[in-house]
Amino acid sequence: MGNIRSRLTSCCSGPCEDLIVELKQGKLRGREFQSVLTKTDYYAFLGIPYAKPPLGELRFQAPEPATSWDGVYDATTERGICQQVDFLFKKIVIGSEDCLYLNVFTPSPPCKTDEPKPVMVFIHGGGFCLGSGSRKAYSADYLTPRDVILVTINYRLQVLGFLNLGLPECPGNVGLKDQVLALKWVKDNIAQFGGDPENITIFGESAGGSAVHYHLLSPMSKGLFNKAIMQSGTSICSWSITYNPLDQAFDVGKRCGFQGTDKKELLQYLKKLPAKKLTVAGVDMILAYRDKYPARIANISPSVEEIKEGAFLPDFPENLCKSATPVPTIFGVNDKEGMLLFVEMHKKLMHKVREDFTLVVTDNFKVDPALVPELSTKIKQFYFGDKEVGMDTAYELIDLYTDIYFYCTYEALDFLINSDHPPYIYEFAYSGKLNFLSRLVNFNKKTKLKGAAHADELFYLFHPLVMPFHPKLEGDCFKVIENMSRMWTNFAKRGNPSHVIDWKPSTSSEPCYLQITDDLKMIEGKLFGKRLEFLKNLLDPVAKPYNIF
């Protein structure tokens, strides 16, 4: 502790008010913001390079640490996000290959920090194909006033981040390896910002939650964090892993004009192409698979690495769960995750399922074709009874797909529950003004679906500058933000998230979870217990969730 304190007092050059921090890479200057929640100041160091730009020969390869710079680096503005397609709005390519930057947000100027502060590193979601650590989406206004340091990161996405040819020059999972290097940077540098390198909590949502779980399993990530929060995702989810990465790579190559069968030749071909062409090819492949398999979500995900030396993922997640890093964890989902079906990019799904309900089974589970009619009939009867699929049964369809998306998650939970650190489990069920995806689904529609859709909890943890509407932070909305920010930061500080109520961890003998609405309530039993028990009993003996790739 004394060593960290001495680093805190020597980390700055010049007056504290200048917000200049000195790292091994060089000096950088930050800026000040004011929290919309507490009206107190906090401090940001934006667009810090943690890796060399992954350009040229570094494309598809593991990241290399960033080089030093001369003078004072301007960390008052963010740098580019990683290249992706904006699905929701304009469907155009945005971002850059040069994108391996991170942001650091502190509650006080580093020079005025007496005691090292807990550190929270957020990993954004987006199906491993979208998103960024940008302040526009993940502002620190709610968390840093709780006396923690927040770090948000970019990592390579889609083809550029997850192409896997099983070659030393393209080993796979470089997007996850970016995250590892970012965590190493935090471990090595966060004391200069007033943070405690021995108290780092990683947390993420959707693909970010899956990434957090991957870090629990990967040998590369050991020792880089102390606690973990998984929001709506684990590595066991079928959308979190690609089983046939070589087929996927050649599919991308074909869409880019490659006609050969040699993977070394394919690699050389893809390395010469503009990054934008690769990203467009990846999107075309995803959309083609969504047309072919309309009753599920397809994306480009992590995969097991053929080259074991230096591998992030040397085996399938279910085989690595037994040796997961033993740290305190939080895991949870939202009560209406399946509302994701009703956003624009999935609008065909309900129509297709209504036409042929067997797609629910065939598109989501690997199963003997002879069993499909019986399984489909039982699932439809359980969720819909005598009703048909349609807007009148929107909630039934949402519940079904909430369970399908996260059915496989509970295999990961079984390992966590039986570990040395039983998880704290939650269900976010609040339907309020900041539920972004719910509002997007209901925008200009006759229906007004209630509940917490996928990702709706995020804007009770982060102030959403990107959101086109900004309701007043008052009443129940303020109360939920207060509870969420307190619980997440309490966990980061001491490994126990309790706030207002005693949040108990879930064990095999006493399963329980915290229900988060405008109030907090402990519920005995398993989350979605009856529904998941039905699917488990029906499918486990004969079927397995699978990724279509």
| pLDDT tens per residue across span 84-124 | 998 665 568 999 999 999 999 999 999 777 799 999 999 99
| pLDDT for residue 10 | 47
| pLDDT for residue 548 | 47
Clarify whether 13 is annotated catalytic. Answer: no
> Which candidate in 97, 337, 427, 457 is catalytic?
337
Alpha helix (H) residue ranges in 293-408: 317-320, 348-355, 359-362, 372-384, 394-406
DSSP 4-70: HHHHHHTSB-S-GGG-EEE-SS-EEE-EEEE-TTT--EEEEEEEEE-B----GGGTTS---BPPP-S
Let me know if 147 is exposed, middle or buried by CB neighbors in 10 A (0-12, 13-18, 19+): middle
Would you give the DSSP letter of residue 116?
A: P
| pLDDT for residue 15 | 56
CB proximity list for 538: less than 8 A, separation 6 or greater: 375, 378, 379
Check: CB of residue 33 under 8 Å from CB of residue 45.
Answer: no
What's phi and psi for 157, nearest 5 deg?
A: -120, 165
Tally Cβ neighbours within 10 Å of residue 356.
12
275-303: per-residue pLDDT in tens?
A: 999 999 999 998 888 888 877 777 899 99
From 493, 447, 207, 439, select the one nearest 328 (Cα to Cα).
Answer: 493
CA end-to-end span of the chain, whole Å? 48
Check: CB of residue 51 under 8 Å from CB of residue 65.
Answer: yes
> Which candidate in 132, 206, 240, 301 is catalytic?
206
Clarify whether 454 is annotated catalytic. Answer: yes
From 242, 249, 282, select the one nearest 268 (Cα to Cα).
Answer: 249
Residue the block writes with tokens 């961890």: 505
The answer for 293, left when phi > 0, alpha when psi is -120 to 50, beta otherwise, is beta
Q: Which two tokens stand for residue 154?
A: 């970019």
Distance of CA 497 to the CA centre of its chain: 20
What is the maximum alpha-carbon separation in the chain? Answer: 74
CB proximity list for 498: less than 8 A, separation 6 or greater: 487, 490
Residue 368 host element (H or E):
none
Clarify whether 35 is annotated catalytic. Answer: no
From 281, 185, 291, 300, select the one nearest 243 (Cα to Cα).
Answer: 300
> Which candidate in 213, 454, 463, 499 is catalytic?
454
What's phi and psi for 530, nearest 5 deg?
A: -65, -40
CB proximity list for 452: less than 8 A, separation 6 or greater: 334, 335, 336, 428, 429, 430, 431, 435, 438
| pLDDT for residue 549 | 47
Question: Which residue stretches of the chain have pLDDT < 70?
Answer: 1-17, 87-91, 343-347, 443-447, 467-471, 545-549
CA–CA separation, 178 and 138 (whole Å): 19
CA–CA separation, 402 and 397 (whole Å): 8
Count CA within 13 A, CB hemisphere, residue 117.
30
From 138, 206, 121, 214, select the one nearest 176 (Cα to Cα).
Answer: 214
From 297, 293, 207, 300, select the one nearest 252 (Cα to Cα).
Answer: 300
From 227, 174, 165, select the one nearest 421 (Cα to Cα).
Answer: 227
Mean model confidence pLDDT for the chain: 90
| pLDDT for residue 185 | 98
CA–CA separation, 229 and 209 (whole Å): 7
| pLDDT for residue 347 | 64
CA–CA separation, 367 and 224 (whole Å): 39
CB proximity list for 349: less than 8 A, separation 6 or greater: 294, 295, 341
Check: CB of residue 21 under 8 Å from CB of residue 11.
Answer: yes
- As a whole number of Å, the CA-based R_g of the chain is 23
